[in-house]
Structure 1
Amino acid sequence: MSILAIILIALVALEHFYILMLEMFLWQREQTRRIFGVSAALADQTVAMAANQGLYNGFLAAGLTWGLLTQRTDVMVFFLACVVVAGLYGAMTVSPRIALVQAFPAGLGLLALWLS
């Protein structure tokens, strides 16, 4: 596996650990609300839902980390593909920006993995 693939996959995993932190523990903070474009009232109403989403992002990050630590290409492909699908779905249903922030980096990681 190439150094580029490792770096890209690690960055995608770190991004999803970061999203876990925002959604599970920092959801109602002003900076997090600004990142996600939600009002204080909406953040208060959706705190449990955001925590649930954060947990799922944590599973994606954990899977990518597992793949990197064990050098299991099949595991990395699976979790990168999950991120791409989730990012594309989020882009279609929530904000096109999600494709750029989540799906695109995971797609680059997949491409680098396949080319290495």
Structure 2
Amino acid sequence: MPYAFPVLVLGQILVGLVALIHVYIVVLEMFLWQAPRTRATFGTTAEFAKASAALAANQGLYNGFLVAGLVWGLLARDPLRWQVEIFFLACVAIAGIYGAASVSRRILFVQTVPAVLAGLFVLLGRS
């Protein structure tokens, strides 16, 4: 198909963007959880942030694994590339759906929508 190359490139850019979003989340959860700006972002108090810092760091570590998987997908060759990317994008999307249902709808737009769009372009780029 004539549009496969641009779609493939856009898919890879979007996968990279999803990975960068999660690098940011890792930094917030693992290193800046108790900072005033992070507390404002997540709507937490200083007391809650202090009490939940270990839990947030653990959650940040899991987001780091998502980053590692997405970067692996970007560096891999086909057919492994698209399979790894789709798997980790699906993980991000499912985590975003769960977060939107249990914490804040905003997570749907920060995590799920970019992951689904990236996955769509990855799949379209394969055709």
What band does the TM-score fall into relative to the shorter chain?
Answer: over 0.9
Say whether residues 1:114 and 2:114 are aligned partners. no
Q: Any unmatched runs of 5+ in structure 2?
A: none
> Would you say how many aligned residue pairs link Structure 1 and Structure 2?
116
Say whether residues 1:70 and 2:76 are aligned partners. yes
Give the Cα–Cα distance (whole angstroms) in 2 for the partners of residues 92 and 56 of structure 1: 19
Look up the equivalent residue of 1:29 and give its one-letter code. Answer: A
Give the Cα–Cα distance (whole angstroms) in 1 for the partners of residues 45 and 51 of structure 2: 10
Q: Do the aligned residues in 1 keep the contact of 2:16 with 2:71 (CA within 8 Å)?
A: yes
Q: Deviations over 1:66-101 (max 9, x none)?
A: 000113111000000000000000000000110011
Q: Deviations over 1:31-59 (max 9, x none)?
A: 11111111111101100000000000000
TM-score, with structure 1 as normaliser: 0.97
Runs of 4 or more consecutive aligned structure 1 residues displaced over 6 Å after TM superposition: none
Find the counterpart in structure 1 of residue 34 from structure 2.
28
Say whether residues 1:48 and 2:25 are aligned partners. no
Deviation at 1:3, TM superposition (A): 1.1
1:1-16 matches, cutoff 5 A: 2-16=8-22
Give the Cα–Cα distance (whole angstroms) in 2 for the partners of residues 4 and 13 of structure 1: 14
Root mean square deviation, CA, Å: 0.8
Give the Cα–Cα distance (whole angstroms) in 1 for the partners of residues 124 and 76 of structure 2: 19
Aligned-pair identity in percent equals 57
Give the Cα–Cα distance (whole angstroms) in 2 for the partners of residues 64 and 46 of structure 1: 27
Larger radius of gyration: 2
Look up the equivalent residue of 2:96 and give its one-letter code. Answer: G
Q: Deviations over 1:8-65 (max 9, x none)?
A: 0000001101100110011000011111111111101100000000000000011000
Give the Cα–Cα distance (whole angstroms) in 2 for the partners of residues 50 and 9 of structure 1: 24
